[in-house]
Amino acid sequence: MNNEQNTSDTRPEEGRPWWHRPWVWAVAGALLVLLGYLLGSCGRTPVAPSPPPAPNAAVDDALLLKAQQGINDGLQAEIDRLRTLLAGDVCLSEPGAPLHSSPLPPETGPGQAVPPSGNMELPPDPGGQQNFFAPASNATIEPLQVSEAPQKPETIAALAEQAVVLVLAAKGNDAQLGTGFFYAPGLVLTNAHVVSGYTDFYIINKTLGRLIAGQVVACGKNAEEDFAVIKLEDPAAAGIYPLTFSTGVKRTDRVSAWGYPALITMADPKLAALLQGDETAAPEIVYSEGVVSMIVDDSPQLIVHTAEISQGNSGGPSMDKNGRVIGINTLIKPDQESNRQANFCIGSRDVLGFLARHNSGAVVED
């Protein structure tokens, strides 16, 4: 009997070593496959999404350049406009020309025509026809005699409200309103162009309480001396504390304008009542403020200020912070292109020179 041993392993499963078992190699193969997949994933570089296409840099630069050029062109146009404005004389219409002619055209002079007087019966005129801008006499103007001097109001507003008056100049059914102010007992200063061409003159404010007739007793000899004095003999005028003058005005000084600008006063129902016959209807005074922006040291001396005035303010005072008169509002110069205007008053220096020739009692507080 052949006792040779068969080389094939015919031992049962439980007798074999573990690495000889088939399931071990199946699991190992699966693990190797999984390991290879994991190693391949870790080594792979993530791919970022594709960026949008870059804009056309040349087109953007052209748009920016065009926009900037438009801005530069606009700035240059504004600079050129300002240069043109500054190239001319901002004070007078023509260099060396008189302030205005007499009578003033309505669009350039602050005086303002008012509607016909309607049912209003004006007081009798104590004066009569005046010859304005004629050679002035040096006759003394006598202030109204008062038995007791009135007390000075405590505030500038109260001072102006009792001393500044509405001036109504009339001839037949034609009338013009302006502004004036008491500078001495019974004496009212205004512009000559406010009363020029008229024959009857009336004064009113809330302190006087009623319309009072007056007489023009002095007038400037030419357009550069655009002043007139109206004298009131009525005892009611004795209770007014007169305004004083100052010649010490400087650029940037505060200034206030007081008067009866037609832009506002024509809408005052009290003016309508006055023109319809109520002689006690006194319109409200109008106030504006600003600063002195320029002083033209010429003849006459012109003070340019920013306190707003308009037609009807003619003859009214420009006052400093202490309530002293630095000038008489006379002229406006509108600029249609810039929608602005320049406001002018004739300085107290020239006003006082005119009044001094008449020894009319003006008081200076410098």
What is the rounded CA–CA span in Å between residue 137 and residue 278?
37
DSSP 113: E
What is the rounded CA–CA span in Å between residue 240 and residue 364?
17
List b or e across 268-301, with b for residues whose CB sees 16 or more CB atoms inside 10 angstroms.
bebbebbbeeebebbbebbbbebebeebbeeebb
Domain 112-356 grouped into CATH 3.40.50.880: no
Instruction: Tell me the two tokens of residue 126.
Output: 């104590």
Q: Which residue bears the tokens 């070593």?
A: 17
pTM of the full structure:
0.67
User: Mean pLDDT highest for which of 34-43, 74-83, 133-142, 259-268?
Assistant: 259-268
What is the rounded CA–CA span in Å between residue 303 and residue 178?
20
Asked if residues 303 and 331 have their Cβ atoms less than 8 Å apart, the reply is no
Confidence of residue 197 (pLDDT cuts 50, 70, 90): confident
Q: What is the pLDDT of residues 124-157, one digit of tens each?
A: 544 444 444 444 456 788 888 888 889 999 999 9
Alpha carbon 264 to its chain's center: 16
Q: What is the mean pLDDT of residues 278-283?
A: 96
pLDDT number for residue 127: 46
Q: What is the mean pLDDT of residues 173-178?
A: 90
Whether the per-residue pLDDT at 343 is higher than 50: the answer is yes
Give the side-chain half-sphere CA count within 13 A for 33.
6
Give residue limits of the domains in the chain: 112-356
**Where in the chain does DSSP place strands (E)?**
112-114, 164-171, 174-184, 187-190, 200-204, 212-219, 228-231, 254-259, 286-296, 302-305, 317-319, 325-335, 340-347
